[in-house]
Amino acid sequence: MKKKILFWSIVIVILAGAAFGYTYFFKNKETEVRYRTAKVERGGISAFVTANGTVNPVITVIVGSQVSGTIQKLYADYNTRVKTGDLIAQIDPAIFQAQVSQAKAKVENARAALLTAQADIANARANIESNKANVLKAKVSVEDMKRTLNRSLELFSRNLVAASDRDTAQANHDSALALLEAAQAQEKSSQAQLDSAIAKLESARAGIKQSEAELELAQVNLDHCRITAPVTGIVISRNVDVGQTVAASLQAPTIFTIAQDLTEMQVDTNMSEADVGRVEVGQEATFTVDAFPQITFRGKVTEIRNAAVIVQNVVTYDVVIQVKNPDLKLRPGMTANASVLVAQKDNILKIPNAALRFRPDFAKRETGGQKGAEVAPGASPPQAPSPPSLDRLKAELNISADQQAAISRILGETQKGLQDARKASPETASAKAKEIATLTRSRIRSILNEEQRKKFDQMPEQTGTQTVLPKFRVWVPVSQKRPVPVEITTGISDGSFTEVLSGVLQEGQEIIVEAMGSNNKGGATSAPQSLPGLKGGR
Q: What is the mean pLDDT of residues 502-525?
A: 69
pLDDT band at 402 (very low <50, low <70, confident <90, very high): confident
**Cα 255 from Cα 237, distance rounded (Å):** 8
3-state SS of 124-158 is HHHHHHHHHHHHHHHHHHHHHHHHHHHHHHHHHHC
The pLDDT value given to residue 285: 95
Residue 482 has pLDDT above 50, yes or no: yes
Please name the residues in contact with 287: beta carbons below 8 A apart, sequence gap of 6 or more: 53, 267, 296, 297, 299, 321, 323, 336, 337, 338, 339
DSSP 8-state class, residue 463: G
> What confidence score (pLDDT) does residue 339 get?
94
Residue closest to 193 by CA, chosen among 117, 137, 135, 115: 117
Mean pLDDT of 279-292: 94
Q: Categorize the per-residue pLDDT at 167 as very low, low, confident or very high, splitting at 50, 70 and 90.
A: confident
Query: What pLDDT score does 340 carry?
Result: 94
pLDDT tens digits along 131-162: 777 778 777 877 877 787 787 777 777 777 77
The values of phi and psi at residue 293, to 5°, are -65, -20
- What's the pLDDT at 265? 94
- How far is the CA of 215 from the CAs of 68, 107, 222, 228, 232, in angstroms? 18, 8, 10, 22, 31
Q: How confident is the model at residue 382 (pLDDT cuts 50, 70, 90)?
A: very low
DSSP state string for 395-422:
HHH---HHHHHHHHHHHHHHHHHHHHHH
- Residue 419: pLDDT band (50, 70, 90) is low
Task: Check residue 302 and give its pLDDT.
Answer: 94
pLDDT at 408: 80
| Cβ neighbours for 404, distance < 8 A, ≥ 6 positions apart | 390, 394
pLDDT of residue 125: 80
Q: Which helix (H) or strand (E) holds 176?
A: helix 163-223
For residue 468, pLDDT over 60 is answered with no
Average pLDDT over residues 115-143: 80
Q: Can you tell me the distance from the alpha carbon of 42 to that of 414, in angstroms, rounded to the nearest whole number?
A: 39
Whether 72 and 90 have beta carbons less than 8 Å apart is answered as yes
Q: Report whether pLDDT(322) > 90.
A: yes
Distance (Å, whole) CA 64 – CA 257: 9
Measured CA to CA, the distance from residue 223 to residue 227 in angstroms comes to: 8
Given this model, what pLDDT does residue 451 score?
Answer: 82
Would you call 123 helix, strand, or coil by DSSP?
A: helix
- Expressed in angstroms, the distance from the first to the final Cα of the chain is 58
Three-state DSSP class for 16?
helix
**What's the pLDDT at 10?**
78
- With 60 as the cut, is the pLDDT of residue 387 above it? no
Q: In whole angstroms, how far apart are CA 275 and each of 107, 467, 494, 533? A: 66, 16, 14, 27
pLDDT at 466 over 50: no
Check residue 1 and give its pLDDT. 65
Q: Of 390 and 484, which is predicted with more confidence?
A: 484
Confidence of residue 480 (pLDDT cuts 50, 70, 90): low
Q: Place 32 in a pLDDT band, splitting at 50, 70 and 90.
A: low
Low-confidence winner among 147-156, 328-337, 375-384, 414-423 (lowest mean pLDDT): 375-384
CA distance 91 to 43: 67
Report the predicted TM-score, pTM, of the whole model to 2 decimal places: 0.57
Query: CA 32 → CA 37, 177, 203, 517, distances in Å?
Result: 16, 148, 113, 8
**Mean model confidence pLDDT for the chain:** 80
The predicted-structure confidence for 180-194, as pLDDT tens digits, reads as follows 788 778 777 777 877
pLDDT tens for 169-183 read: 788 777 778 877 887
pLDDT 10s digits, 214-262: 999 999 999 999 999 999 999 999 999 999 988 887 777 889 999 988 8
- 248 contacts 65 by C-beta, under 8 angstroms: yes
